């Protein structure tokens, strides 16, 4: 080995990493070949098998349990495969157990006393193996699986930029994208009513979804609006002192009962400080004029305790005639919603008025009618369809990334192993959407690299493998139900053809499986580091707009801004930057040197686009003295997508190398 000389002025802190790491790590994670079966994580092959097994027959009398899979050794070397036109692969076998069940006198499933469980190893097929150079040999030709850059699962808030209404009013919406399952869209219309769409079908008022999850109208109003108590005595109305008062105007002078001092003058705003004084003075109620109640909205039905007559229903506005009725009735307390059109918008109560369903059953039937028009809804089918939509792990999966993004975006802490939607998710998404509408939250930038992630070989193949297993599952279930299960062995039930057909199809004809560019060794490496926004579950050339193709500030050090083809694919096919790496969640990270108190250390930290947003990052060419202190009063830094000049003490990170960007 000859010594490599460097003529760069900036010292090399970090060598360029192993360039095929992304491809090789991803496939190793998929196979978990050298991991003991009981220590394998639920990803890749193991994840695909675990998501489909156990397979039970329709009567729950027999079930097929997955125990482990084994990978054999390749029959030929890569060289032989190239010469003889073969596929470089390893045999895949799974060990499964056929269990028999029966019902005990209480109707519970217990192991059968009549039949013994049978365990057997079943050959599934030949699984292509990655060579040491990161390629696959399929029928004697070298192929590369290009990694896909797609929209990460999670929740996205956006607006239509004012295009759908003539007044240019922004219409806000939220979309929940899972890794697998139905999409859920929440959107306002021009009358500010919130609607929900399931899988882009016809829209329903959003409160129908909340009711289907078990909330009553009153609970929904309580979740999204503060409640104010009004006491009625001798025909007069008194407001109970609560936090809701802050920011409202005083209708009379508020006087300290002991000292006689005026705390708040009539017509003035009640500030936080004034509210504290009111609390301290011991005032618990404030009298309000009758006019103040007109136009206010009730939380629950107002019922006269003596006659049992309903004066006003829940979520209705109080009118002058109602105020008169209240004065002469025996009602002692009102619960009113606090809607100020600034922080608390009337959108949700308007949505409830639009929603014609009364209870949970009605809401479930309404959803069923929209998704399965023309079918008669039975309560059982309705319940099953709704639970299967978002709450069944077999049919809906947010993936760990989706759960992480939801928790981060909504500021909630649902455990990472809960990969279906929960009531809390939907409640909080609606809350945040109302917050954005009132001008407080922010919408998402879908081209930000925090919202796009890399699906490398392992994940792409796992998805295909799962599709094959689901096809196999149907056949196994039918054989179990129809056939002679008592005498059958596991290999009689399992037909692995659909699984291997899915794998073959993926390597042979998938858009991301490409014939390797072998012009020279460099073009081989760049081909393996390529990222494509095309392919299944990605964009199409015709649909992709200008924004998706453009260079984004978060590309810095993560995606090369130069290397992209000219022509229809510009910006859709890109390359990983030289120092970048992909983390466990599929987000691209780039290395930075940590700066402490204006001194550059040699400690390296990798940051993703989400984490790197809030830091002051200096360029690698910033002058530094022998001790590593930054020189100069003002130093040029990046923060978010912005450039600023800050003092040396404020700098938090520094680029690793001038060639980090490419």
Separation CA 317–CA 314 (nearest Å): 9
Cα separations in angstroms, 488 against 61, 109, 118, 469? 14, 21, 9, 20
What confidence score (pLDDT) does residue 184 get? 93
Q: What is the pLDDT of residues 419-463, one digit of tens each?
A: 999 999 999 999 999 999 988 888 999 899 999 999 999 999 999
Average confidence (pLDDT) over 540-553:
91
Tokens standing for 549?
């193709």
Q: How confident is the model at residue 313 (pLDDT cuts 50, 70, 90)?
A: confident
Provide the pLDDT for residue 580. Answer: 96
Q: pLDDT at position 500, please?
A: 95
pLDDT of residue 295: 85
- Compute CA distances 189 → 172, 177, 350, 529, 624, whole Å: 9, 21, 12, 44, 56
Q: Is the pLDDT of residue 371 over 80?
A: yes
pLDDT of residue 327: 80
Domains along the sequence of the chain with CATH? 21-147+454-515 (3.90.1100.10), 154-218+350-449 (3.90.1110.10), 220-342 (no CATH), 521-530+540-577 (no CATH), 588-661 (2.30.150.10)
How confident is the model over 267-277, as a mean pLDDT?
Answer: 80
Rounded to an integer, the average pLDDT of 307-311 is 82
* pLDDT score for 136: 96
Give the percent of the chain with pLDDT over 70.
Answer: 100
Encode pLDDT of 100-136 as tens digits: 888 888 878 888 878 888 899 999 999 999 999 999 9
Instruction: Determine which of 31-35, 83-87, 197-201, 234-238 has the lowest per-residue pLDDT on average.
Output: 234-238
**pLDDT over threshold 90, residue 82:** yes
pLDDT band at 2 (very low <50, low <70, confident <90, very high): confident
Under the banding of pLDDT at 50, 70 and 90, the label for residue 570 is very high
Per-residue pLDDT for 377 more than 90?
no
Give the relative orientation of helices 360-371 and 379-390 as an angle to the nearest 10 degrees.
80
**Can you give the pLDDT at residue 342?**
83
CA distances from 456 to 20, 45, 142, 224, 552 (A): 12, 14, 18, 41, 21
Average pLDDT, the chain: 90
The pLDDT, as a whole number, for residue 292 is: 81
CA distance 53 to 94: 12
Q: Which two tokens stand for residue 117?
A: 């469980």
| Rounded-to-integer distance, Cα 660 and Cα 557, Å | 5
How big is the chain by its Cα radius of gyration, in Å?
32
Q: What is the pLDDT of residue 470?
A: 93
Region label for 411, one of left (φ > 0), alpha (ψ between -120 and 50) or beta (otherwise)? left
Residue-level pLDDT at 551? 95
Task: Give the pLDDT of residue 210.
Answer: 93
Q: Label residue 510 by pLDDT band (50, 70, 90).
A: very high
Tell which residue, 245, 124, 65, has the closest CA to residue 499: 124
User: Does pLDDT of 12 surpass 90?
Assistant: no
Per-residue pLDDT tens digits for 226-255: 888 888 888 788 888 887 777 777 777 777
For the chain, helix (H) and strand (E) counts, in that order, are 18, 33
- Please tell me the predicted confidence (pLDDT) of residue 268: 78
Q: Which pairing describes strands 184-188 and 194-198: parallel, antiparallel, or unpaired? A: antiparallel
What is the model's pLDDT at position 196? Answer: 94
Taking the C-alpha atoms of residue 400 and residue 653, their distance in angstroms, rounded to an integer, is: 29
Mean pLDDT in residue range 517-546:
92
pLDDT digits (tens, 9 = 90+) for 590-634: 999 999 999 999 999 999 999 888 999 999 999 999 898 999 889
Residue 373: per-residue pLDDT: 87
Mean pLDDT of 92-96: 94
The predicted pLDDT at position 378 comes to: 86
Residue-level pLDDT at 508: 93
């Amino acid at each position: 080995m000859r010594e490599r000389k460097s003529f760069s002025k900036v010292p090399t802190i970090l060598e360029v990493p192993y360039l095929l790491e992304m491809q090789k790590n991803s496939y190793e994670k998929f196979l978990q070949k050298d991991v003991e079966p009981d220590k394998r994580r639920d990803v890749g092959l193991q994840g695909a098998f675990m998501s489909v097994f156990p397979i039970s027959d329709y009567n729950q009398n027999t079930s097929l349990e997955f125990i482990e899979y084994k990978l054999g050794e390749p029959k030929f070397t890569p060289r032989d495969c190239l010469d003889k036109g073969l596929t470089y692969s390893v045999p895949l076998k799974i060990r499964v157990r056929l269990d028999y069940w029966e019902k005990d006198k209480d109707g519970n499933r217990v192991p059968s006393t009549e039949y013994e469980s049978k365990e057997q190893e079943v050959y599934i097929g030949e699984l292509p193996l990655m060579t040491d150079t990161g390629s696959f040999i399929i029928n004697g030709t070298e192929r590369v699986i290009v990694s896909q850059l797609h929209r990460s699962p999670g929740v996205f808030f956006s607006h239509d930029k004012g295009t759908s209404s003539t007044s240019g009013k922004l219409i806000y919406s939220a979309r929940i994208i899972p890794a697998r399952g139905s999409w859920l869209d929440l959107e306002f219309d021009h009358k500010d009513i919130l609607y929900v769409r399931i899988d882009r079908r016809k829209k329903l008022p959003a409160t129908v979804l909340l009711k289907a999850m078990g909330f009553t109208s009153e609970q929904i109003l309580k979740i999204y609006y503060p409640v104010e108590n009004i006491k009625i005595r001798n025909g007069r109305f008194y407001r109970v002192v609560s936090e809701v008062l802050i920011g409202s105007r005083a209708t009379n002078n508020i006087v300290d009962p002991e000292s006689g001092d005026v705390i708040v003058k009539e017509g003035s705003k009640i500030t936080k400080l004034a509210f504290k004084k009111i609390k301290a003075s011991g005032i618990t109620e404030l009298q309000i004029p009758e006019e103040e109640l007109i136009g206010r909205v009730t939380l629950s039905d107002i019922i006269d305790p003596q006659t049992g007559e309903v004066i006003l229903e829940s979520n209705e506005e109080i009118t002058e005639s109602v105020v008169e009725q209240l004065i002469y009735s025996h009602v002692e307390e009102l619960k009113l919603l606090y809607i100020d059109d600034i922080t608390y918008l009337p959108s949700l109560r308007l949505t409830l008025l639009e929603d014609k369903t009364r209870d949970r059953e009605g809401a479930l039937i309404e959803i069923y009618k929209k998704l399965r028009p023309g079918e008669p809804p039975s309560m059982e089918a309705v319940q099953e369809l709704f639970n299967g939509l978002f709450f069944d792990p077999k049919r809906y999966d947010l993936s760990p990334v989706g759960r992480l993004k939801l928790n981060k975006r909504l500021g909630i802490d649902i455990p990472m192993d809960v990969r279906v939607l929960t009531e809390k998710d939907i409640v909080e998404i609606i809350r945040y959407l109302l917050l954005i509408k009132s001008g407080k939250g922010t919408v998402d930038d879908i081209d930000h690299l925090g919202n796009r992630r890399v699906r490398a070989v392992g994940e792409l193949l796992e998805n295909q493998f799962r599709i094959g297993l689901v096809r196999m599952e149907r056949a196994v279930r039918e054989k179990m139900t129809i056939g002679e299960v008592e005498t059958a062995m596991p290999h009689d039930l399992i037909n692995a053809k659909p699984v291997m057909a899915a794998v073959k199809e993926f390597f042979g004809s998938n858009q991301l499986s490409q014939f390797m560019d072998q012009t020279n060794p460099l073009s081989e490496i760049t081909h393996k580091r390529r990222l494509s926004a095309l392919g299944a579950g990605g964009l199409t050339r015709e649909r992709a707009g200008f924004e998706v193709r453009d260079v984004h500030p978060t590309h810095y050090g993560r995606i090369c801004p130069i290397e992209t083809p000219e022509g229809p694919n510009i910006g859709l096919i890109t390359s990983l930057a030289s120092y970048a790496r992909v983390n466990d969640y599929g987000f691209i990270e780039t290395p930075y040197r940590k700066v402490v108190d204006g001194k550059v250390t040699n400690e390296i930290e990798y940051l993703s686009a989400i984490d790197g947003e809030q830091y002051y990052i200096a360029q690698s060419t910033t002058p530094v003295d022998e001790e590593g202190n930054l020189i100069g009063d003002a130093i040029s830094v990046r923060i978010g997508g912005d450039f600023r000049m800050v003092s040396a003490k404020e700098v938090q990170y520094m680029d690793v190398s001038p060639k980090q960007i490419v």
